[in-house]
């Protein structure tokens, strides 16, 4: 039994086995960092690549992410303060006035799967809520979603609010009508056309 | 027995969907994020818990009894009024796209000038029966008042019936106010009946946003027609199986129709859906897929069960330029809608890329398909005059019909003549420049816009409409 088995169980979407194996590795004294990085996180990196290449479908990717999170939950109480619990903190939400959340949820789940701590503020989120939560959590990135052109101005006001608060937190945006040009125009730090792209973008921004 | 290989539902199958929807409405309920909607339901004896409204079969059936199965939408030019319901149907242009696709396949932000040009194309169209709303979402006008600019253009540049503005409670009021100005007062508008059709969408699963519920209340109160539509992404905002999608969307649509009938018994409503599948590889919405057309057929059948007019999409595609995929997918959905008895065929022309863009070239190609589909479903005449055995006897064995008087008489009218789709042989096509149909469409576009003439409108009415929107913009 090795961390490779945990890796394999995540790729087999087998949550129960991930839980059993993670607990067993932990009880057996395997280094927690090895379980986390070689088992769980590297499995999700592989899942991300297989999804991007079209090999995995969305529900399969999400099932793998759930299995990974179940393993992570077992490790969490044993992680010391020095050990990185996550690759970074992402605050995500659909902006003020917009209630659409399918794309946002997809990005949220993929980011969790990639090892980020994600705080999902839901839909119809005020600029102040993004700023406040990002400050509380010392977030690396704020990710904003919108499906309506009428709510895209809320992205602009949120990005502005983050800048005015003098925070180092980076902002990224996405959603069907959103473009790179719009991101540039409102001064957002990044844009992605799809969920895997958003994960790659956040990885670059926190690197 | 009529044979069409698309599935005709049995009464048992339809009843199963109905029963499943009723179970959802009575046990899970539907959330309305609009206080006035909750008050209306509560005061009519519906169980309301927080924002969730529960409905019984009896309550829904009572509402359905007052909903008309057919109604007329009156145009400012009475010759262009249309009927929606039973055997009557309308082709209506695309809706909601933020971008314009250019002939090279690139996209740019849509503008108010684009919106006006679509109004002009609708006005000069032989096949598009009604003007739209938000045919593109113009990026160069203020989003708070864009609906006023669009309504003004819809009314002034075109004299066909128009779609209303369901962007908010105030947006719906603006639609009613502008219609009141156009018809010369509240009493005259009331006597005319519905003059607009607005698009109310549920927020799946099982919710209505404040904008949509608020607009529905305002428009139903003013007796303006509303499409109540569900747009479920199967596998994401609804079940992965189509029967499950039908049960869920039916619950949402019936909940919206019930609200409209409580506000104004007899308010004209349309049973609508544009539910489709999520592409499981990308997570994106797929509307060129066969599942969309299967839902179109199912929606028409469910609406007939409730004796209501129906709405679906028309020329829908996931392609990003007016290519073979775009033409094939669009023709499939458009013909499925018309053949299965949909009464309000939205998105009949122009849509590309899963609703993200409108294309002028695609609009002209779809428009031609609308003409073709309308001919396709026209019944064959079985009169003696049409069979004309005498003529066949006269020509006899091995003769020809080209020189028969009847052929001469009907040669310009009997067959559907393509507007600009190619019928030339290869030599002729080559001599004309070997152009693809989308390239021909680009050339046609400038001719069409040049040929446009603004339909006459009382200058005082136009001024009153301008003043109204100027006043409203000051407040906003």
Q: Evaluate whether A71 touches A39 at the Cβ level (below 8 Å).
A: yes
CA distance B280 to B234: 10
Which chain B residues touch A54 with a CB distance below 8 Å? Answer: 281
pLDDT tens-digit map of A60-87 = 998 998 999 899 899 988 877 656 667 8
R_g of chain A computed on alpha carbons: 18
Which chain A residues touch B233 with a CB distance below 8 Å? Answer: 102
pLDDT tens-digit map of B47-59 = 999 999 999 999 9
Which of A 126-155 lie inside 8 A of B, CB atoms?
Answer: 149-150, 153
Where exactly are the structural domains of chain A? 3-78, 89-206
Domain spanning A89-206, CATH architecture: 3-Layer(aba) Sandwich (3.40)
The arithmetic mean of pLDDT across residues B441-467, rounded, is: 97
pLDDT tens-digit map of A169-178 = 999 999 988 9
pLDDT of residue A148: 87
Contact at CB, B139 and A54, closer than 8 angstroms: no
Q: Evaluate whether B109 touches B93 at the Cβ level (below 8 Å).
A: no
CA distance A160 to B14: 52
CA distance B395 to B383: 20
Task: State the burial class of residue B309 (Cβ atoms within 10 Å of its Cβ: 0-12, 13-18, 19+).
Answer: buried
pLDDT tens-digit map of B404-445 = 999 999 999 999 999 999 999 999 999 999 999 999 999 999
Tokens at B171, concatenated = 């947006």
Whether the upstream peptide bond of residue A55 has omega within 30° of 0, thus cis, is: no
Predicted confidence (pLDDT) at residue B17 exceeds the cutoff of 80: yes
Contacts of A78-86 with C-beta under 8 Å, sequence gap 24+, read A78/A26, A78/A32, A79/A32, A79/A36, A83/A32, A83/A33, A83/A36, A85/A117, A86/A115, A86/A116, A86/A117
pLDDT category, A195, cuts 50, 70, 90? confident
| Separation of CA B85 from chain center | 13
Percent of chain B whose predicted confidence (pLDDT) is above 90: 98
Contact at CB, A58 and B282, closer than 8 angstroms: yes
Q: Which residue from A100, A149, A194 is facing B137, i.e. has the nearest CB?
A: A149
Where exactly are the structural domains of chain B? 11-63, 65-376
Tokens at B308, concatenated = 């209501």
Contact at CB, B283 and A194, closer than 8 angstroms: yes
Contact at CB, A106 and B283, closer than 8 angstroms: yes
C-alpha closest to that of B215 among B159, B179, B168: B168
Q: Which fold has domain A3-78?
A: 1.10.1240
Q: What is B65-376's CATH number?
A: 3.20.20.480
pLDDT category, B312, cuts 50, 70, 90? very high
pLDDT category, B379, cuts 50, 70, 90? very high
pLDDT tens-digit map of B110-168 = 999 999 999 999 999 999 999 999 999 999 999 899 999 999 999 999 999 999 999 99
B93: closest CA of chain A, how far (Å): 19
pLDDT category, B475, cuts 50, 70, 90? confident
The whole-model pTM stands at: 0.94
Q: Does A83 touch chain B (CB under 8 A)?
A: no
CA distance A200 to B15: 48
C-alpha closest to that of B347 among B368, B361, B333: B333
> What is the ipTM for the molecules in this complex?
0.85
pLDDT tens-digit map of B213-257 = 999 999 999 999 999 999 999 999 999 999 999 999 999 999 999
CA nearest A59 in B: which residue? B280
For residue B384, how many C-alpha atoms fall within 13 Å in the half-sphere facing its CB?
1
CA distance B325 to B319: 6
C-alpha closest to that of B149 among B126, B129, B123, B175: B175
Contact at CB, B139 and A149, closer than 8 angstroms: yes
Helix residue ranges, H only, B306-359: 324-339
Provide CB contacts within 8 A for B297, sequence distance 6+: B6, B7, B336, B340
């Amino acid at each position: 039994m090795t961390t490779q088995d945990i890796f394999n169980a995540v790729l087999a979407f087998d949550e129960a086995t991930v839980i059993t194996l993670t607990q067993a590795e932990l009880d057996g004294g395997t280094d927690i960092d090895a379980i986390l990085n070689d088992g769980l996180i590297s499995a999700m990196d592989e899942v991300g690549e297989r999804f991007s290449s079209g090999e995995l479908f969305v529900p399969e990717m999400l099932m793998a992410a759930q299995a990974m999170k179940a393993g992570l939950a077992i490790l969490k109480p044993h992680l010391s303060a020095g050990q990185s619990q996550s690759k970074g903190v992402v605050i995500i939400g659909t902006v003020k006035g917009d209630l659409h959340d399918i794309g946002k949820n997809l990005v949220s789940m993929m980011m969790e799967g990639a090892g980020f701590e994600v705080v999902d503020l839901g839909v119809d989120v005020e600029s102040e809520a993004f700023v406040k939560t990002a400050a509380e959590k010392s977030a690396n990135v704020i990710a904003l979603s919108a499906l309506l052109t009428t709510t895209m101005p809320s992205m602009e006001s949120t990005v502005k609010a983050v800048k005015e608060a003098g925070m180092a937190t980076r902002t990224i945006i996405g959603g069907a009508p959103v473009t790179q040009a719009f991101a540039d125009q409102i001064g957002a730090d990044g844009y992605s056309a799809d969920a895997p792209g958003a994960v790659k973008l956040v990885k670059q921004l926190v690197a | 027995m009529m044979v069409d290989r698309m599935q005709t539902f049995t009464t048992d199958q339809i009843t199963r969907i109905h029963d499943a929807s009723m179970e959802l409405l009575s046990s899970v309920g539907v959330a309305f994020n609009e206080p006035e909607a909750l008050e209306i339901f509560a005061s009519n004896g519906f169980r309301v818990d927080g924002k969730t409204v529960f409905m019984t079969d009896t309550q829904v059936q009572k509402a359905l009894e007052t909903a008309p199965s057919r109604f007329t939408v009156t145009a400012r030019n009475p010759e262009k009024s249309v009927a929606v319901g039973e055997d009557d149907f309308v082709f209506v242009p695309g809706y909601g796209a933020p971008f314009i696709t250019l002939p090279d396949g690139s996209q740019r932000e849509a503008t108010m000038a684009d919106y006006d040009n679509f109004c002009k194309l609708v006005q000069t169209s032989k096949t598009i029966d009604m003007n739209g709303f938000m045919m593109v979402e113009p990026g160069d006008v203020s989003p708070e008042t864009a609906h006023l600019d669009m309504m003004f253009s819809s009314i002034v540049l075109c004299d066909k019936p128009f779609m209303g503005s369901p962007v908010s409670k105030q947006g719906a009021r603006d639609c009613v106010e502008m219609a009141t100005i156009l018809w010369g007062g509240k009493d005259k508008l009331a006597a005319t009946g519905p003059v607009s059709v607005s698009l109310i969408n549920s927020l799946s699963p099982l919710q209505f946003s404040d904008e949509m519920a608020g607009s529905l209340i305002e428009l139903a109160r003013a007796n303006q027609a509303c499409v109540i539509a569900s747009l479920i992404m199967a596998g994401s905002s609804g079940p992965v199986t189509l029967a499950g999608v039908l049960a869920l969307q039916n619950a949402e649509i019936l909940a919206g129709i019930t609200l409209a009938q409580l506000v104004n018994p007899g308010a004209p409503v349309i049973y609508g859906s544009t539910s489709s599948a999520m592409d499981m590889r990308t997570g994106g919405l797929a509307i060129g897929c066969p599942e969309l057309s299967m839902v179109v057929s199912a929606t028409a059948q469910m609406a007939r069960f409730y004796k209501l007019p129906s709405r679906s999409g028309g020329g829908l595609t996931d392609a990003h330029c007016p290519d073979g995929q775009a033409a094939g997918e669009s023709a499939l959905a458009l013909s499925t809608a018309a053949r299965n008895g949909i009464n309000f065929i939205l998105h009949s022309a122009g849509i590309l890329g899963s609703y993200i863009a409108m294309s002028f070239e695609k609009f002209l190609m779809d428009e031609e398909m609308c003409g073709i589909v309308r001919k396709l479903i026209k019944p064959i005449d079985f009169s003696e005059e049409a069979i004309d055995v005498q003529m066949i006897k006269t020509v006899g064995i091995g003769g020809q019909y080209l020189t028969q008087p009847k052929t001469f008489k009907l040669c310009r009218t009997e067959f559907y003549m393509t507007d600009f789709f190619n019928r030339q042989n290869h030599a002729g096509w080559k001599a004309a420049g070997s152009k693809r149909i989308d390239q021909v469409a680009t050339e046609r576009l400038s001719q069409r816009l040049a040929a446009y003439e603004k339909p006459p409108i009382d200058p005082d009415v136009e001024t009153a409409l301008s003043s109204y929107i100027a006043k409203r913009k000051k407040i906003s």
